[in-house]
Structure 1
Amino acid sequence: MKKPDLKSLDLAALWRGLTQPDGAGTDRVVPPTGFTAQLTLFSAAAMAFLAVFALALALATGRLAERWSSELAETVTVRLSAPPEQMDEQTVTVMEVLKTSPGVANARLLPDAEVEKLLEPWFGPDVPVEALPVPRLIEVTEGAGFDADALRLRLQGEAPGAVLDDHTRWREPLVKAASRLRFLGLVSLLLIAATSAAMITLAAKASLAANGQVIRVLRLIGARDITIATAFVRRFTRRAALGAAAGTVIGMIAIWALPAMDEAGGFLTGLGFQGFGWIWPLLIPPAAAGIGFFSTRWAALRMLREVR
């Protein structure tokens, strides 16, 4: 950045800017152009763009963990494997056991069409379920007083080919993984905020160093360090807010343009915002402005104390 010429400074304009009652003119003493302006705008926009995706990841994984936990918490599955000649007989036995077991609210034998749909992601469409040795599946809805261990022992005694699966073995790892992904998303937001603060601090220090002559003149005409710092704080806060607003808008458009979960074949976790969740990214620009305010204020006051 080119340092301003001491002879070219308009002392009257500087004084008017510093002595306005509302302080609105203090930022006029800071040169409006230079690489620090572009650096602040670009870094704020880039960090806001990444923050939108980190926030979307945290919210999506939170929804995923809740959905997996709620959908499978009150259901169990009975898997029946038996020779073809015994399959119908054992199916009737299992259904009778389930009807007479306490705590079983409902038991439903899954038709071949639903089993085929469950196998479709692995074997493709039009799976010949009736020609394959696929076990029969019975969906059981839990009620009050349901005892999985007692039901499992009863099934072993009356229908040896029936196995009770309460989904705990694979549900808990999935929920734990989704919770950890949400935690990583929140950690990413903190790292993005810390990186933004570091970049704005460096830009503010560079601007202060490049405007050393202006600072000396301001001190000569009676400006206090807090007044000089306010001039830099106003300008850098505005730059951080504008850059973050641009990055947030671009990030929200990118999230909106992602394919829906159904269009992606069901393998996506629904990354994005839903309903009132679209309000959360709008908090990123005010947060960036706050980071810019405190970072610039701390850097300016510290540097002004060191340079006398």
Structure 2
Amino acid sequence: MKKAGLKSLDFAALWRGLTRPDPAGTDRVVPPTGFTAQLTVFSAGAMAFLAVFALALALATGRLAERWSTELAQTVTVRVSAPADQLDEQTAAVMEALKTTPGIAEAKILPDDQVEKLLEPWFGPDVPVEALPVPRLIEVVEGDEGFDAEALRLRLQGEAPGAVLDDHTRWRQPLVSAANRLRVLGLFSLLLIAATAGAMITLAAKAALAANGQVIRVLRLIGARDITIATAFVRRFTRRAAMGAAGGTVLGLLAVWALPSVDQAGGFLTGLGFQGWGWLWPLLIPVAAAAIGFGATRWAALRMLREVR
């Protein structure tokens, strides 16, 4: 009889916790520890950690595509390849043609030191540019109104047969397209991460509901509504998801911050990470995780409570 009385008192305490106005007491029906709590916190933290990198990838590739599109869109190169005795003459003809072409704002011959830097990734430092048959490079900056590239090509063919106009379209457009696709891939990864986190939290909520089936039945006998019982699980799992996501976000930000810069990586990286106000975007990840936990737990709890009568 004593044990039965203690059990009755326990259930009465649970009912008071469910019906009191203080939100901190309404979720006492959910066990504070156990594998469901660990699973929720770990899955939310892991998904938040991956979400930081997916967000960093999306933002970095977006900046990369914009930079390639804007910086190279108005830059054109003229390459002059001719015998040594004709190189200066054809270069002068090209410069004269560029000066009289409408839509060209500036044209300048690249000095040997800049050409050496362009060749350094392939030939290494200290390239003897003067000893190699390197074409003369002329950098052209077009004006806001642009110019007729096809007409300029035809003119250069007649006045300087060794000159080739390169507007970078052949290799710039595929790079911009690849960067945009990487950005879409990063955003799609965020959706997959959110869906996976929701599935894991749903499984954990269902496991907690199944483990507390006897408690739920007694609460129903004493008049608890399904929405009240579900609210207890929703609040507990929402907090767990938010706490786990906050920890994973902090670890992800530290990992991104520890990545080497572009200069330290020898130019291999393209600035993967956050810049300026972009560091504030990951702060939305714990908020999104809490919203996912709220929606997933509420859906799972109400559906399971309707099925179990």
TM-score greater than 0.5 by the shorter chain: yes
After superposition, where does 1:91-110 map in structure 2 within 5 Å? Answer: 91-110=91-110
User: Which residue is 2:29 aligned to?
Assistant: 29
Q: Which runs of 5+ in 2 are unaligned?
A: 1-5
After superposition, where does 1:69-84 map in structure 2 within 5 Å? Answer: 69-84=69-84
Aligned CA distance change for structure 1 residues 7 and 16 (closer, same or farther; 3 Å): closer
- Distance in 1 of aligned mates of 2:137 and 2:23: 74
User: Which residue is 2:3 aligned to?
Assistant: none
- Distance in 1 of aligned mates of 2:8 and 2:262: 61
Superposed CA offset, 1:103-142 (max 9, x none) = 1111010000001111111211111111111111100010
User: Bigger shift: 270-279 or 7-16?
Assistant: 7-16
Give the drift of 1:217: 1.3
Give the drift of 1:145: 4.6
- Distance in 2 of aligned mates of 1:295 and 1:259: 38
User: Which residue is 2:283 aligned to?
Assistant: 282
TM-score of the superposed pair, with normalisation by structure 1: 0.96
Dislocated runs of 4+, deviation >6 Å = none
Aligned CA distance change for structure 1 residues 136 and 304 (closer, same or farther; 3 Å): same
Matched, 1:252 2:276: no
Matched, 1:148 2:149: yes
Once the two structures are aligned, what percentage of the paired residues are identical? 84
Matched, 1:45 2:39: no
- Distance in 2 of aligned mates of 1:129 and 1:236: 66
Q: What letter is aligned with 1:40?
A: T
- Distance in 1 of aligned mates of 2:166 and 2:302: 64
Number of aligned residue pairs: 303
User: Bigger shift: 218-227 or 12-21?
Assistant: 12-21
Matched, 1:54 2:54: yes
User: Which residue is 1:67 aligned to?
Assistant: 67
- Distance in 1 of aligned mates of 2:55 and 2:200: 21
Q: What letter is aligned with 2:46?
A: A
Aligned CA distance change for structure 1 residues 261 and 293 (closer, same or farther; 3 Å): same
Matched, 1:200 2:201: yes
Superposed CA offset, 1:83-119 (max 9, x none) = 0111111111111111111111110100000011111
Computed over aligned residues only, the root mean square deviation of the Cα atoms, in angstroms, reads 1.2
Q: Which runs of 5+ in 1 are unaligned?
A: 1-5
Q: Secondary structure at the match of 1:79?
A: strand
Give the drift of 1:8: 7.6
Superposed CA offset, 1:139-162 (max 9, x none) = 001022511111111000000000
After superposition, where does 1:203-222 map in structure 2 within 5 Å? Answer: 203-222=204-223
